[in-house]
Amino acid sequence: MSIDSILSSATAQALKALYDADFAPEQIVPQTTKKEFEGNETIVVFPFLKASRKAPEATANEIGNYLLANCDAVEKFNVIKGFLNITIKPSFWTGVLENVASTPNYGFVPETPDSELVMIEYSSPNTNKPLHLGHVRNNLLGFSLSRIMEANGYKVVKTNIVNDRGIHICKSMLAWLKWGNGATPESTGKKGDHLIGDYYVEFDRHYKAELKELQEKGLSQEEAEKQSTLMHEARELLKCWEEGDEEVRSLWRKMNQWVYEGFDQTYERMGVSFDKIYYESETYLEGKKKVLEGLEKGIFYRKEDGSVWADLTSDGLDHKLLLRSDGTSVYMTQDIGTAKLRYEDYPIDHMIYVVGNEQNYHFQVLSLLLDKLGFKWGKDLIHFSYGMVELPSGKMKSREGTVVDADDLMDEMIATAVEMSKEPGRLEGLDEEEKKEVLRIIGLGALKYFILKVDPRKNMLFNPKESIDFNGNTGPFIQYTYARIMSVLRKTTDFIDAVDITAVAPNDKETSLIQRLADFSVAVSDAGKNYSPAVIANYVYELAKEFNQFYHDYSILREEDVAVRAFRLKLARTVGDVIKRALSLLGMEVPQRM
């Protein structure tokens, strides 16, 4: 039982005994005492004043005296206004360390047969270009969230919806037909997604040139766009695709396969994966069927031009187009179809969509539509909305060929790690293969941590060089702390677990570190409740910082008292275990040497 749970229960008992007030332990949440005050845990008594009918100081003192007399973990207390600061007995902290150290996967809730199933959708790429920096944040958030939800005892299914149809795909296909000369990933030595992305950019370059030429002849921008032969050809290609033209479909399948193979390499390198992949080319027709079914039931309505709409005015929104007058679908239709297939495939309890905040309205509408169509989780779907990520040089613009590719970004991160490793004392004693692997772990870890430590709802500026600093709130700093602990453990021949440490009284630094370890379960729970990998990132940084302060002030291997040395070794090993476990929730690896 954690110290928070013990104090919550004991305080609830105190309130009942002193004031005949009924408070559930869950209503009483102790906080870590601020460093400038004496104590380990603080209870704020202001919510209890109505029951006590006394001043804050008097109420806090009465509760403190009750805890001192009735709670074995409490050593002493002090009161500052309405804040009851409690000092816990050192012997209790030794027991906490033993508990954390001996509990496999401490902080994680095991899955049970009754665990609810959470489906998490992330990535959602288009097959006309490579994954870019925006996809990196999306994938890292989605994958980390899936691990956090698993750590909270949920069954998790990770899904991806690939946007593999539409005019943008036809633009790449048309450009390849016109200017590709039969190029393949093998003949060019390029990853398939990069190759197809080049032709998407090539289409845009020729299209702009055509528009410029038409406008120079006196046409307006709108007139030029209507007369564009390139855009007309792309639309014809899309029409042929929708009609099932086998020649067009064959080319589409071939080029998409090149892209999928490229995506798979990027996903593997990024360290993310999926349990099920859906394709828009397979889901949009299902969406049309579901919309027409809703039309028959009177959930939706048809306008005179044949288009199908949803009236959401009673829900405080407007009218939403679901099928165009020519019967073609919109993105909302596709999402309805994807939801239908997913609901048939899995017994979904919670559905989480990891999509940027520019789609907030879209998911507000989708939630209402799914609920009206009878999906039990529709109204409660969660849009994990995140902000834009930029580089110091500015925003990304995909169609102008200035997009920051995920592959290039990962290359840059590892190259930056290589540069940092040239500093004196870095990676000494490692052979070339070990260095290469450590630099990969550092570079990608720096990328993941820097992105995930930010509140996902906020826009962020990603600075590669800042992210890979070995000091401060960075991935490499935390990874280095883990490697330092491993180095200490390799140097000892002590049988750590064979020594009785129950009589060891932890000093203030050790107590603070144990308290931080015990808080890991709280951090995991909070990260799950708030859908925020940033909670884990900032927890593990504080843990690493706390350990380094302890390591600076106290000797471990040179400590002469055998029991104290064993205690500190166990403390260090447990910190290492929790760091590794926390970083795994962020999709990060840890190096044994650094």
**Pick from 65, 88, 111: which residue ends a domain?**
88
List the alpha helices (DSSP H) in 421-561. Answer: 432-452, 464-467, 475-490, 508-518, 520-530, 533-553
Question: Could you give the maximum distance between any two Cα atoms of the chain, in Å?
Answer: 93
Q: Are strands 350-356 and 382-386 parallel, antiparallel or unpaired?
A: parallel
201-218 mean pLDDT: 95
DSSP structural state of residue 520: H
Residue 412 backbone zone (phi > 0: left; psi -120 to 50: alpha; other: beta): alpha
Is residue 322 within 8 A of residue 309, CB to CB? The reply is: yes
Could you list the residue range(s) of the whole structural domain that residue 574 is in? 406-585
pLDDT at 402: 57
The verdict on residue 176 lying in a domain is no
Task: Indicate whether 517 belongs to any domain.
Answer: yes
Question: pLDDT-derived band of residue 460, with 50, 70 and 90 as boundaries?
Answer: very high
d(CA 438, CA 434): 6
- The mean pLDDT value of the chain amounts to 93
d(CA 556, CA 571): 10
Check pLDDT > 80 for residue 425: no
Query: Residue 427 maps to which CATH number?
Result: 1.10.730.10
Query: Residue 11 domain-assigned?
Result: yes
Backbone φ and ψ of 44, nearest 5°? -85, 125
Give how many domains the chain has, as a whole number: 2
CB within 8 A of 284, min separation 6: which ones?
A: 165, 329, 333, 334, 337
Where residue 341 falls among pLDDT bands split at 50, 70, 90? very high
CA atoms within 13 A on the CB side of 384: 30
* Residue 440 confidence (pLDDT) above 90: yes
Choosing from 39, 57, 88, the residue where a domain stops is 88
User: Which residue among 35, 54, 88 closes a domain?
Assistant: 88
Residue 321 lies in a domain: no
Report yes or no: 195 and 129 within 8 Å, Cβ to Cβ.
Answer: no
Q: How confident is the model at residue 403 (pLDDT cuts 50, 70, 90)?
A: low
Structure confidence at residue 466 (pLDDT): 87
Is the residue at 476 inside a domain?
A: yes
Write down the pLDDT at residue 90.
Answer: 86
45 occurs within a structural domain: yes
pLDDT at 326: 84
How many CB atoms neighbour CB 38 within 10 A? 13
Whether residue 81 lies inside any domain: the answer is: yes
Return the percentage of the chain with pLDDT > 70, whole number: 98
| Of 480 and 425, more confident | 480
Q: What is the CATH number of the domain that holds 23?
A: 3.30.1360.70
Any domain includes 208? no
Is the pTM for the entire model greater than 0.95?
Answer: no
